[in-house]
Chains A and B, each alone.
Chain A
Amino acid sequence: MAVVTSELVLEALQNRFGSALLTVDYPYGMLTLEVTPEAIPEILRFLYDDEILRFRFLTDLCGIHYPHQEGKELGVVYHVHSLENNVRIRLKAFVPETNPELPTATTVFRSANWQERETFDFYGIRFTGHPDLRRILNMDEMSYHPLLKQYPLEDSTRTDKDDKYFGR
């Protein structure tokens, strides 16, 4: 059996999804691909089903907000792990702030359910096809998505803090 390396994974993905892969990078030695949002479920499915690659563990799925990256303000980062080959890769997909929508990964990993709910809760990214997309950690009455950069971290109802002692 061939030893599965990042290069082998990249080659397999390039053969199959050439046009969906936008950038390739190795930050801290980990293969990181930026891909088109539409291709995410297919790529995850391919990585999962492939008899050699066997990426069958979704380590993490999270959101990110780059307000100055025009047209690509919001992103979703997927970390997948091939436990048998001990190889990890990272996938990133960016969507515009005006229409933050991309297909759900729950069709491949059922564990993505809560992680996508969390990403929706904090960033307002909508995962189409998600079975139950509602807030998971914040209170249901909350009217905004708090980790978007335009919202302050601090609570506005705080009364006992003097700004001059807290550097605000």
Chain B
Amino acid sequence: MTEQPSQLTMVGAPDGHEGQGFFATSLEKVIGLARANSIWPLPFATSCCGIEFMATMGANYDLARFGSERLSFSPRQADLLMVMGTIAKKMGPVVRQVYLQMAEPRWVIAVGACASSGGIFDTYSVLQGIDKVVPVDVYVPGCPPRPEQIIHGITQIQELIKNESLRRRHTPEYKALLASYGIE
């Protein structure tokens, strides 16, 4: 048996100044790094996209590799709301309520065509995209998207988190965004 070389990779350090025995970077980047690699997602799974998400969490695709080891089934402790599946208009207020219960900073990912735009359900009873009720950061297309696509969506969220200014949630733009959804 040949010895396999260890392929363990760590998250790279953010940009900064390095020298003998020290490394200097901004607090923002350190916090972004920590947040991006320890996302607690809240899975809001209503249909087939939720099944793909289960595969994403399973051993083959293993979302835990990206730091989302622990799902949070309480919005109070969740960082990322993952809406996966068709949201009927009757369900819209529930999605909104869950979003309101999440603490800042919070992110939202719309997985699949239905959560993004209503998908094939161009009908009176279906919400035509969750961005009608809550602001969305990343949209994952597909019907349903494969686990690789969901992972790609998560890594896009990670990029957003890494590069987000600590002041972003206090900016007038962000407040105006929330206000446009009638939130505070």
- Residue A41 lies at the interface, judged by CB distance under 8 Å to chain B: no
Cβ-neighbour of B128 out of A137, A138, A146, A159 (below 8 A): A159
- Shortest Cβ distance from A168 into B: residue: B122
In the bound complex, what is the Cα–Cα distance between A98 and B89 (angstroms)? 29
Tell me what chain B mostly uses at the interface: helix, strand, loop, or mixed.
loop
**Structural contact, B90 and A154, CB atoms closer than 8 A:** no
With contact pairs A155-B118, A158-B118, A160-B117 given, residues A146 and B89 touching in the complex (Cβ less than 8 Å)? no
**Structural contact, B122 and A154, CB atoms closer than 8 A:** yes
Residue with the greatest number of chain B CB neighbours at <10 A, chosen from A151, A153, A158? A158
- Residue B123 lies at the interface, judged by CB distance under 8 Å to chain A: yes
Cβ-neighbour of A146 out of B117, B118, B124 (below 8 A): B124
Chain B interface size, as a band, is: 10 to 19
With contact pairs A138-B90, A139-B89, A139-B90 given, residues A157 and B123 touching in the complex (Cβ less than 8 Å)? no
In the bound complex, what is the Cα–Cα distance between A157 and B128 (angstroms)? 7
Shortest Cβ gap from A59 to chain B (Å): 25
- Shortest Cβ distance from B91 into A: residue: A139
**Structural contact, A154 and B132, CB atoms closer than 8 A:** no
- Residue B150 lies at the interface, judged by CB distance under 8 Å to chain A: no
List, in ascending order, chain B residues with CB within 8 A of A151's CB. 124
Which residues of A approach B to under 8 Å, CB–CB? 137-139, 146, 151-155, 157-161, 166
What are 20 residue pairs bridging A and B, where the CB atoms are less than 8 Å apart in the complex?
A137-B90, A138-B89, A138-B90, A138-B125, A139-B90, A151-B124, A153-B123, A153-B124, A154-B123, A155-B122, A155-B123, A155-B124, A155-B126, A155-B128, A157-B128, A158-B117, A158-B118, A158-B128, A159-B128, A166-B122
Q: Which 9 A-B pairs have the closest CB atoms?
A: A139-B90, A158-B128, A146-B124, A154-B122, A160-B117, A157-B128, A139-B89, A155-B128, A158-B122
